[in-house]
Each structure stands twice: as C-alpha cells, then as structure tokens.
Structure 1
C-alpha cells in the first residue's frame, strides 16, 4: 500500500474485495468513528482534490472510502485540469459500464459498512461521481446520497448510464431508504435548471426523501478547486449541509 499524509492522519490505497480487483483510497479518522462515506470522484479520478475531501471527512470522524472506478482500464488515476487531462478523463469515463459500476459500488459499500463501526454509510459524489451515487441508491441500501451537480439523472447516452437513467427508477431509491441531498449551480451547463426541476418532480412523485438546492450564479464544478468554476459561498453552504446530514443520518 502507498500512503499520503494529509494533516494528522494518512490515507492509504487498499483492495476492497477480490485480490486484483477494485481498490480504494481509504482515509481513517484518528479518533472515534462516526460512520463511513464512499467518496465518488468526478472524471479526474482520485486526485489531490478528492484526497483532500477524504481528509476533511476523516477529520470529522468518518472513514472515507474513495473507489478507483477506472481500475479496469487504468489504475489509481489522478488527473489534473489541463485540456489534455480532461480529454483523458473523458475517454476513461466513456469506457465505464453501468453494471460494473453498480458492482464496484456494492464492493465499496460492503467495505465501508465494515469500517463504519456500527454506524451508517453515505455516498458523496461530484459530477460523474454524483451520478454514480444516485445510481447506487437505486440498487443498494445505505443512509444518504449527497451529490454535487450530478449528470445524466434523466437522460442517457453513455454506457455508464445505460438504457435507463437512474431517476426513471426513483421508486427504488425510496424502497432502499436512501435520503438524497443534491446541489446544483444556476448556471450549470451540464445540468440545466429545467432538468434539475424535473428531477425534483420525479423524486417527489416517487416518494424519495430529498432536498435539492440551487445556488444563484454558480456554475458546474462550483465546489471543485478549479478557479474558473469555484464559488466560495456555494461550496461552504453545500458542505455545511452535507456535514449536518451526515451527523443526523449516520
């Protein structure tokens, strides 16, 4: 295993199940464990930004488990934000398969459940990772999905979405007892206001416990560490809401 020191604790890569299978970057708290969070990345993989999110969650007492969803095609991917690296991420994202993602999410959930020390498990995801978290909620039982600007909730077109977008089967989220907390920017070009409003209606019709928040003037990627997209106020408010939901539901 290779470790990365962030603050007072160290995150490490470890296999989640079958030898040679999926790995995750796992960051454990130093003290008491209050639950576990499966942290799903955007298309840039488990990069320094995502590892920083894991460190912050560990600092709050949650075991952070960040799966390497690209493992079948590239191990331990961590991309920056240049045009070339974004294109490399898009190539990897387009190779993802819905059913394989669900299998990987199930392995991550199983590992997180063991690490949660009797508490609950949440999935937290940004962009592509938000989509993965919502898809996981249609197939698996856990306490909370907190998703930042998740794509393709009601539209298809990528193998990772499959022929049926996740909110077409939103009743499964309700049946699994997953509470959905979602964040989107008013100016999001990938998740426009009309689709976000449609997602709200679909969740309500399906009886899913949820709260969807829109931030005026914010763009897609507002919580990431890319200066062109980042919005301090929206990011701070969203993470306050996530922390409160984690404390209440795990």
Structure 2
C-alpha cells in the first residue's frame, strides 16, 4: 500500500496524508508534524506505522495558508515554517484535530486511536488530548506546554488544563533530550509535576546528550540514534498495549 492525500470533511477543507496497512488493522495513529509540514520524514513515519498494522493519518494543519506544505531542514525553510506556524490558531487546531480523529476512528476498525506528535505536532497532540477522547498521545519534544505567547497556544497553555487530559482518559508518553534548547529540563520537570498533580496517566522520558529533533534521521546534526531507537521502541510497545 502507498499513502495518498484525501479530504477529511467539507470539500475544500482540511486534507490529510493517509497510509493504510496492507493487512490486519491494529488501530490508527494521527501523526502531527513538525513545523516543516507533512514532508518526506513524516510520510516515512506513516509508512512505518502502516507496516506495523496501524492506519496513519497526517493532517495538513497549514491548509488555510499553504496546501500540502513540505519543507526541508535548511535555515531558510525553517524560517518559512515559522511564518506558517505563527499563523496557526488554537481553536482551529482543535477543530482540525477532531476531523482527523473522526477519520482515524473509522480507519481503526474498532481498535484504538493514538496521536503521535513531533515538536510543534507534540504540542498539538497534547492540546488535542485536553479536548478530545482517544487512547494515547505519544509526543516527541513538545513545546509550549506551560507557557503561551502565540496564537498556536492561545491564552491558556495545554497543561493548565491537564485535568481534562485525565478526564478524557488519554495516556501521555513523552520524550525530550537533555540538551533540548526549546524544552529545557526545568520546564520538562514542571510538566511532569503538573501531569502528576492532575492525575494524568503518563511517562516522560529524558535522554542524556540528546537535542531537540533527536528522533529525526533527516537532521544528522541533531539525530541521536540510541535515543531515537529507545523512544520508538516505547512508542511501539504503547501502541500495542493501548490500541
């Protein structure tokens, strides 16, 4: 099977890149991308998930401003991604996540649904968990969990509403590198405390000597093979147990 783009709801509305398993379906995963859009790295993750039996749905969260954005990791492309990211709106992201979840539920064929988020997408997955019911949020180096400052976050950062994650029954599995310049250790520790206080079932993992983006093979300066391998192993185990 190969992935393909399809509309999620209203004609002319949000699209997602969807990769379906060739055989038995073990559940579905909504893949929320980095600020670089649904690029080759994200589509590769979708293919890997489909190979494991999970229908993968990667929403194009930038669709209102630029369709099917696919950026690389150069400085210039990062700046282009930042422009698009700063235009995102919290409430629209929740609405788009709900559309993706609706399709994922149909694709899961009675099994569970996970949100898998990478950096910006990790933030989106955590935000979705405060508003929607699904089984697992697996997030790699998610930013702005406890601080606001841009439309993407809104006036209330997601972990201020962590009790809603607990109420929605979402298990939160998170990964961060010790050297992450966007999500420093003190903030990651504060996130751990907030989740515990709110009664969220969770596990947050920190990898020594790993940077932001450590899981991305297309970013050789940041990629940390051992950390990435361990994180993906944990994700696969959680998918198998919870979906």
Asked if Structure 1 and Structure 2 have the same fold, meaning a TM-score greater than 0.5 normalized by the shorter chain, the answer is yes
**Given the two structures, how large is their TM-score scaled by the length of structure 2?**
0.99
Matched length:
242
CA distance in 2, matches of 1:74, 1:165: 25
Q: Does 1:243 align with 2:217?
A: no
CA distance in 1, matches of 2:161, 2:67: 31
CA distance in 1, matches of 2:182, 2:25: 36
Alignment of 1:1-250 (within 5 A): 9-224=1-216, 225-250=218-243
Q: Which residue of 2 aligns with 1:3?
A: none
Q: CA offset at residue 47 of structure 1?
A: 0.2
SS in 2 for 1:198: helix
CA distance in 2, matches of 1:170, 1:248: 23
CA distance in 2, matches of 1:249, 1:158: 33
CA distance in 1, matches of 2:169, 2:84: 31
- Which segments of 5 or more consecutive residues in structure 1 lack a partner in the other structure? 1-8
RMSD: 0.4
Q: CA offset at residue 86 of structure 1?
A: 0.6
CA distance in 2, matches of 1:15, 1:22: 6
**Given the two structures, how large is their TM-score scaled by the length of structure 1?**
0.96
SS in 2 for 1:55: helix
* Alignment deviations for residues 90-124 of structure 1 (CA, whole Å, 9 cap, x no partner): 00000000000000000000010001010000000
Structure 1's consecutive aligned runs of 4 or more residues displaced over 4 angstroms after TM superposition are none
Q: CA offset at residue 158 of structure 1?
A: 1.0
